[in-house]
Amino acid sequence: MDARDLLDLTDQLRTLLGDDAVITDHQRLRTYECDGLAQYKVVPALVVLADTTAHVAAVVHACAAANVPFVARGSGTGLSGGALPHADGVLIVMSRMREILEIDRPNQRAVVEPGVINLQLSREALPQGYYYAPDPSSQQVCSIGGNVAENSGGAHCLKYGFTTNHVTGLELVTPQGDVVQIGGKAVDAPGYDLLGAIVGSEGTLGIATKVTVRLTRTPETVRTLLAAFPHTDQAGAAVSTIIGAGVIPAAIEMMDALAIEAAEAAVHCGYPDGAGAVLIVELDGPTAEVEHQFDQVEAFCRDNGAFEIRIAADDAERALFWKGRKSAFAAVGRISPDYIVQDGVIPRTALPEVLRRIAAISAEAGVRVANVFHAGDGNLHPLVLFDDAVPGQSDRAEQVSGAIVDLCIEYGGSITGEHGVGSDKAKYMPRMFSDDDLDTMQLVRCAFDPSSISNPGKIFPTPRLCGEVPGRHKGAHPLADAGIAEVF
């Protein structure tokens, strides 16, 4: 976009939204240069603050007409650079659209604007005995719209699933600027499962301007324990025993010695001294079940070598257990100036083996790796520690990080369990998927956004030329055109 086009577009958007909602001042633009992954920074050409669906549709429509890329941003807490702005594009900030439109207890649904904060919805629903189940660690600040884009999970998704399992309806502004209603409070809308495609598409298929979500009944009982083990091997074995016994806890989280050290330094969570690993296991549900299985879990932990088990007596103690875990990423800042967070997934049973191999990679490269993870579903969050001020460390950390990704793929896992691909992991996608796999995914992209203006450059390392603009497709079959197929 050249300077003149930018001026034209700015004028248009000022007319549409008002002067206050359009930011052009460079200093103010810079506050939007990154999301939760601060190592990537791009100053957007223009920022607009949307207040209504009509605003979003008007901005997207103007972008489409001028063929200018746009990026939607919620609270900007994402960890994969999914909301990284485009230098020649418009950043559409959704956080002013933050009204909970409806809490519909009889239907177990809520309708919210995308800027609504995740935890705020649960707080509003709680007096009626309900909450919103997906609980990313950033839930105090992250937005539901961002959760929709990233298909966010959280510690409790082991039992309750991810965002995609809890969204039943969306109002979507398409990359052409049209407003489309998909699904609603009822399930199983006829036709293709567009919700399934859109949730987790990282803002590349349009912008959600209204979200209908399922609300979950608060459990009758919650019990939480913290078990300390000499080594991650024993903690891993305890996890396998628990799951193998048919117990599905609400959450099973693990931290290794280095992660514990960081958490202690940051929030003084008081985890047991000398632990090589701690597990936090939380069970919830009907009282009779939970009490019985909680005793089982405690025994499984002891059988597998736990040297100390603490049981949360009340909500305050439970909060303390979780405090160490939920603050782990930030806490690592106390023991290392810089770090890379990985988000790979492995089959749960491979946990002990993969942790040993991560340790070997770490030792060989001389790069420390702290491990914090959702052990129940094999979602690792290795934190690769380095000091950017020391020449060569950053490169070595990047190599270790890449080697861990390869390890996850080797064991049949995934490069990302919940943080998304975004800008950060697009380069890893070809390690997990073939060209044909990626090409097939991009067919979906082409259907929604043939001009590739909705958050371009994310997810896919190489954009696909769509070849078709809706309503303009005429002529021979593309395969016949390409000489691949003949027409008889």
Closer CB to other proteins, 129 or 274, in the complex: 129
Query: Apex CA 83: angle with CA 17 and CA 263, to 5°?
Result: 130
Kindly identify the residues of this chain, within the stretch 22-81, that bind other proteins according to CB under 8 A: none
Q: Enter the tokens of residue 421.
A: 């691909």
Q: Tell me the Ramachandran region of residue 333: left when phi exceeds 0, alpha when psi lies from -120 to 50, beta otherwise.
A: alpha
| Cα(164)–Cα(141) distance, integer angstroms | 20
Closer CB to other proteins, 88 or 289, in the complex: 289
Place of tokens 């324990």: 225
The count of chain residues that interact with other proteins, using the rule CB under 8 A, is 103
Give, for 371, the enclosing helix (H) or strand (E).
Answer: strand 369-374
Which part of the chain contacts other proteins (CB under 8 A), choosing from 57-65, 131-139, 212-220, 228-236?
212-220
Judged by CB under 8 A, the residue of 390, 410, 443, 463 near other proteins is 443
Q: Are 44 and 91 in contact (CB under 8 A)?
A: yes
Kindly identify the residues of this chain, within the stretch 235-254, that bind other proteins according to CB under 8 A: 240, 243-244, 246, 248
Judged by CB under 8 A, the residue of 29, 40, 88, 161 near other proteins is 161
Closer CB to other proteins, 130 or 329, in the complex: 130
Judged by CB under 8 A, the residue of 11, 19, 99, 193 near other proteins is 193
The yes or no reply on residue 463 touching other proteins (CB under 8 A) is: no
The yes or no reply on residue 363 touching other proteins (CB under 8 A) is: no
Judged by CB under 8 A, the residue of 32, 131, 162, 271 near other proteins is 162
Q: Give first-to-last CA distance, the chain, whole Å.
A: 45
The yes or no reply on residue 7 touching other proteins (CB under 8 A) is: no
Residue type, 401: S
The yes or no reply on residue 19 touching other proteins (CB under 8 A) is: no
The yes or no reply on residue 455 touching other proteins (CB under 8 A) is: no
Q: Are 107 and 185 in contact (CB under 8 A)?
A: yes
The yes or no reply on residue 448 touching other proteins (CB under 8 A) is: yes
Closest approach, Cβ 442 to other proteins, in A, equals 8
Residues 121-160 as x/- pattern, contact with other proteins by CB under 8 A: --------x--------------------xx-x---x---
Nearest to 405 by CA among 80, 68, 65, 49: 80
Judged by CB under 8 A, the residue of 20, 25, 188, 273 near other proteins is 188
* Alpha-helical segments (H) within 272-350: 287-303, 315-326, 328-331
Nearest to 222 by CA among 320, 161, 289: 289
Residues 321-350 as x/- pattern, contact with other proteins by CB under 8 A: ------------------------xxxxx-
Judged by CB under 8 A, the residue of 274, 440, 461, 462 near other proteins is 440
Judged by CB under 8 A, the residue of 18, 286, 461, 463 near other proteins is 286
Closer CB to other proteins, 12 or 163, in the complex: 163
Residues 6 or more apart in contact with residue 122 via CB below 8 angstroms: 131, 132, 135, 139
Kindly identify the residues of this chain, within the stretch 84-123, that bind other proteins according to CB under 8 A: 104-109
Closer CB to other proteins, 227 or 429, in the complex: 429
Kindly identify the residues of this chain, within the stretch 366-425, that bind other proteins according to CB under 8 A: 374, 377-379, 412-421, 425
Q: Are 105 and 128 in contact (CB under 8 A)?
A: yes
Place of tokens 């809706």: 470
Beta bridge partners of 208: 172
Closest approach, Cβ 245 to other proteins, in A, equals 8
Nearest to 201 by CA among 430, 474, 483, 458: 458
Beta bridge partners of 386: 338
Please spell the DSSP secondary structure of 282-297, one letter per residue: EEEESHHHHHHHHHHH
Which part of the chain contacts other proteins (CB under 8 A), choosing from 17-25, 300-308, 387-395, 429-437?
429-437
| Cα(409)–Cα(91) distance, integer angstroms | 33
